[in-house]
Amino acid sequence: REVLECVNGQSGLFIEIKEPEAVNPVLNVLKEYKYPEWVAIVSFHEEVLEKIAYMKPEIVTGLIYAKPPGKIIEAKKLKAKIVLPHFRLATAKAIAFAHKLKLKVVAWTVNRPEQIIKLVANKVDAIATDYPEMALKTREKYENKVKF
């Protein structure tokens, strides 16, 4: 609740559900806030996305994955709008395929400038990082050379 009140639509917010049993409690909290459209629910667990698609299909969801060959097709079948691959799986080919299926791609956890530059060149939609200041400095330094 505190995070929802603090963010309050000033940016997007990913809520990661780590255990399928947490779906109902999370949805109950989101219901108190009228299911804000600036919130997306993401998870490694396909059953989490399946349950949300059934219970509240208007909520944006994303499938997180870390192992090849990836889960782009599975995400589409689960009606997810976002795929969240580990950055090593966010190749130009994988990103292009996800975009062809109208999925956004958010790579994680991107903690080095050269990784950011490569992912931007690959046309990733967003990144997750432990170092936002480094990411912003990288964008400032390279925005004229690579399209951010």
pLDDT tens for each residue of 106-134: 999 999 999 999 999 999 999 999 999 99
- Structural domain spans, the chain: 2-142
Domain 2-142 has CATH 3.50.30.50: no
Q: Cα separation of 99 and 93, whole Å?
A: 10
- Mean per-residue pLDDT, 72-88: 99
Mean pLDDT of 52-64: 98
Helix (H) or strand (E) holding 16: strand 13-16
pLDDT at residue 144, rounded to an integer: 79
Neighbours of 50 (CB within 10 A): 17
Using a cut of 0.85, tell me whether the model's pTM lies above it. yes
Task: Provide the token pair at 105.
Answer: 């791609």
Return the beta strands (E) in 51-142 as ranges.
Answer: 60-65, 82-85, 104-107, 126-127
- Residues 2-34 as b/e (b if ≥16 CB within 10 A, e otherwise) read eebeeeeeeeebbbebeeeebbeebbeebeeee
pLDDT at residue 148 is higher than 80: no
